Amino acid sequence: MKIKWAMLAAIFTIVTVLTGCEPLAVLNPKGPQAETQADVIWLSIGIMLFIVVAVFAILIYMLVKFRASKQSDDYEPPHIEGNVIVESICVGIPVLIVAFLSIVSVQSNYEVESSPEGYGEKEPLVVYASSSNWKWHFSYPEQNIETVNYLYIPTDRPLEFKLYSYGPITSFWIPQLGGQKYAMSDMVTTLHLAADAPGEYMGRNANFSGKGFAENTFNVKAMPQAEFDEWVDEVNNTADPLTEKEFDQLLEPGHLGQLTFKGTHLTFLPPPSAENGGHNHGSGSADKHTEMSGNSDNESDSGHSDSHSDEEHSDH
């Protein structure tokens, strides 16, 4: 009786706790790349659940059917040779499962690494996403805009992110739009994403990069193309220009709020020239990256955060 009530209490607790949980971001996709990854996750969960249930069912059957029975002291169990069918099943099924999941993984990787389909002839929006301790800089070369710690994107249009770092290796990740990809100081990596639905999403650095890692996040807002164009016009008409001196101050270690600038740092500090596997050690920009990252351990965490606030550009 006590075991029965204990099990009922445990089930009740689990149900009441889980009903208050929000859905996992990776299982609540808002773009084609994230949807592909969510489908693979659900498929893997289903296969693993089937395996667990089948194994426990077989275990219970074996324990019941072949449990010890009262035999005489001189009883000797019969010698049983191996069963080819059983052994083939025990070896063959895991091989088939691994082969199937391998094929699914390779196909899905090719799909999420390529530019998302289904958007007609729309040109992708190119955004250079660079990280520094501990903030994110988003440069829109076509729109001549740069933001810090927030990202505005249009819906129903391919997005092409060019990732690199002004400090240690970081990882760019928007869970509801797709998987993470590393940003490094001596090369540019490309990440293809898209947003199908307007909304606000969370983005963050998914790779540990020092004491300020936990707050190395950014906000993402997806909106219709017309609304995005209005935002671009407003920024170009009202935001302050980004200067090289100002950008050097932004690179100093510390946390900042959301900032908006007209112009991008790409004009006076281009990104690394190597891309996706190539390396460009010793370039001018890479040297500056190293210099900035080398100072990170000696700077205080507050750094430059006191001189900027969300209020300076709260309208953007």
- pLDDT(290) > 60: no
Three-state secondary structure call for residue 310: helix
Q: Are residues 106 and 138 in the same domain?
A: no
- pLDDT(312) > 60: no
Work out the pLDDT band at 300, boundaries 50, 70, 90.
very low
| Cα–Cα distance list, 122 to 112, 118, 119, 155 (Å) | 18, 10, 6, 11
Q: Are residues 291 and 143 in the same domain?
A: yes
When comparing pLDDT for 80 and 281, which is higher? 80
pLDDT at res. 69: 77
- pLDDT(7) > 70: no
**Cα 193 from Cα 162, distance rounded (Å):** 11
User: Among the listed ranges 199-208, 265-274, 285-294, which one has the minimum average pLDDT value?
Assistant: 285-294
Mean pLDDT computed over 91-107: 94
Specify the amino acid at residue 153.
Answer: I
Long-range contacts (CB closer than 8 Å, 24 or more residues apart) made by 51-58: 51/97
Note the maximum CA span of the chain: 98
The C-alpha angle 156, 276, 249, rounded to 5 degrees, equals: 80
Work out the pLDDT band at 86, boundaries 50, 70, 90.
confident
Q: Are residues 144 and 280 in the same domain?
A: yes
Q: Are residues 101 and 151 in the same domain?
A: no
Quote the tokens at residue 159: 């997005």
Q: Are residues 37 and 164 in the same domain?
A: no
Q: Are residues 161 and 182 in the same domain?
A: yes
- pLDDT(232) > 60: yes
Alpha helices, DSSP H only, in the chain?
2-18, 32-65, 84-113, 225-238, 244-250, 284-294
Neighbours of 110 (CB within 10 A): 9
Within a domain: residue 223?
A: yes
Q: Are residues 144 and 255 in the same domain?
A: yes
Q: Are residues 171 and 267 in the same domain?
A: yes
User: Among the listed ranges 22-26, 151-155, 201-205, which one has the minimum average pLDDT value?
Assistant: 22-26
Work out the pLDDT band at 80, boundaries 50, 70, 90.
confident
pLDDT at res. 79: 82
Specify the amino acid at residue 138.
Answer: F
- pLDDT(278) > 50: no
Q: Are residues 101 and 239 in the same domain?
A: no
**Cα 169 from Cα 279, distance rounded (Å):** 14
pLDDT at res. 77: 77
Show the domain range for 35: 27-61+83-114
The C-alpha angle 202, 227, 26, rounded to 5 degrees, equals: 25
**Cα 228 from Cα 242, distance rounded (Å):** 21
- pLDDT(65) > 70: yes
Quote the tokens at residue 68: 């010890």
Q: Are residues 272 and 143 in the same domain?
A: yes
Quote the tokens at residue 88: 């083939």
Please tell me the number of Cα atoms within 13 Å of 27 on its side-chain side: 9
- pLDDT(116) > 80: yes
Within a domain: residue 67?
A: no
Neighbours of 238 (CB within 10 A): 12
Based on the structure, what is the number of domains in the chain?
2
Mean pLDDT computed over 265-291: 63
User: Among the listed ranges 64-68, 232-236, 294-298, which one has the minimum average pLDDT value?
Assistant: 294-298
List residues bridging with 222 in a β-sheet.
153, 199
Task: Read off the CATH number of the domain in which 271 is found.
Answer: 2.60.40.420
pLDDT at res. 282: 38
pLDDT digits (tens, 9 = 90+) for 121-142: 899 999 999 999 999 999 999 9
